[in-house]
Structure 1
């Protein structure tokens, strides 16, 4: 038995238990970038409902885009997902979850397909431009009549000579207006009955030089207004055969294989939102007084904060375990779905209850807790609703 009279230090669930020195060095780069290029401009971007293209080129110049692009394609080859988590933390702390999700769409939903399924010639054409921010991408899978049910996609691509002719409509497309190219899921089997496993293919469709590729008006969202979301329309768009990503008929399998990274990305963002909202609420309740006492001194407040702190720490530990599994190549779709389901639901609950602790101030839009509340509501919808995730998890169990 130890005779050391000093109390043992508490176990640290924060950065030192999860990140290493190289991640903290990267944090310095990310933090400087956010302070210079993001934090001073967030309010203006919200008002404009759009982030400028200069944000992407600045992020590219800072080395913050396409972290997993290998060195042979001019990238850093940072496949350790903790680097992406660091960037999320710094963006969310600046109130820029919209920017974090915009980067996620490019780096966690499109880029994995380019790295895993694109040809070497395609990688040479596209990856250097992704790294510089010259090529901003979006994911165009969902449609007005087909959200999470991708087999209900009606957009069609018909082979014509060496090209494909694309017709259809997509909706809820993040980076839809600002993006230069969309990773489009289209039916390519030429049939009209219920789609099968081999019915769909993926194409990287470029906006420039593609007559018939048009964007609708920006969709008005509850939150994350700086991140543009729009409908996309394809009317007889000619897509070169060389822009087919992966095998013809392999689109659904490719999406299913790479979906864990996209869902992990949302889980990480959710955990960060929950943590930052809790920290802001702790500061507020310690400073705000009511009836001559700090709000934090009321028993109800302490009980609420105790429960929320426990939820946040459990969520962080669970999400970090998922990150470790991803880094080890062991995160499957069910595991990623569990992490995304748990973390996004907790982010929704934590932001709601933290808003309540702010009282009337929580209802004012320029308060960080109000922005977090509105932003968190997307997290249980984007990348698969909680209902779809429960179905995915349940099928894996039985």
Structure 2
């Protein structure tokens, strides 16, 4: 039996919940210390005891849990989850019908009504991502609900709430039939090799789909392209298929080389004609300056936080200096794709980082295009932090 608890909210938080705020933060609660059991159902009430909303307790980096309903009498169980999943799947029917894109987000946490849970679709396979111990207590109901409302080959999962920062999974497989990996999915006609059974990452970040397509269709033809923090080289693949003269992919992780070769190969691209370097990006900037290398298109999509032997990098503190490094090796009238998935600041502040970099370098620029999350990553207007992706195509003038 799931524990149920009543929590009193502050006067300030009361107004936010009435406006539709889905996140339950510690600061919003008068009696947060009474929360002990992850997964407990919480009823939020004001200081007069009037009901405001109902949700669950699940501690993650964003807060203490999520609002699920404003209906006092609505039970949070399999029936609720089935209705929520059915609505989300119905919203993505255009994606399901598109043979050129077979990987996308089906359920985006609070944007689809259940914060802390994301579900992605990979050509017949569903991948559940759990972001707290609290939401993971709903696993049985979610899996059964998904089996009842969706057609699928198999279901996999990722537990992303391990507090030690290490990804530990006994077995990613949950239900249906096991996949054969790599699984080849399509994105706007481009092939990508993905793994649902191999650690925290699958091999592609689905939220960058529109950005990759823009690079392929509008920015890459005849250009030299540098892809920093390149991971499995997805931006490089898009650029090569878009007619880039040459791509250079740089990432510190040893696995990145083999993974990037694989992504080129599944698209019939000769990877030996591309440069794939396992190297610290900051050391590469120094190397490129020393060799007087310049690129027409530079992709900057660093992790929010990264540490190497010599550097500690945080987008919130260091993006301006990273941008200055990129400006120095970008051709006149070249383009920098500046990207971050850090939810702790908005687009306005991100544009400020870019502007400061150009001012300090004494260069002029114009923003030619900007992107946030694609339409399958549904967000709520009451929770702007949910729209975490910020991408600017910045042209040197």
> By the TM > 0.5 criterion, same fold?
no
Query: Which has the larger share of strand?
Result: 2
Bigger proportion of residues as helix: 1
Query: What TM-score, normalized by structure 2, do the two folds share?
Result: 0.26
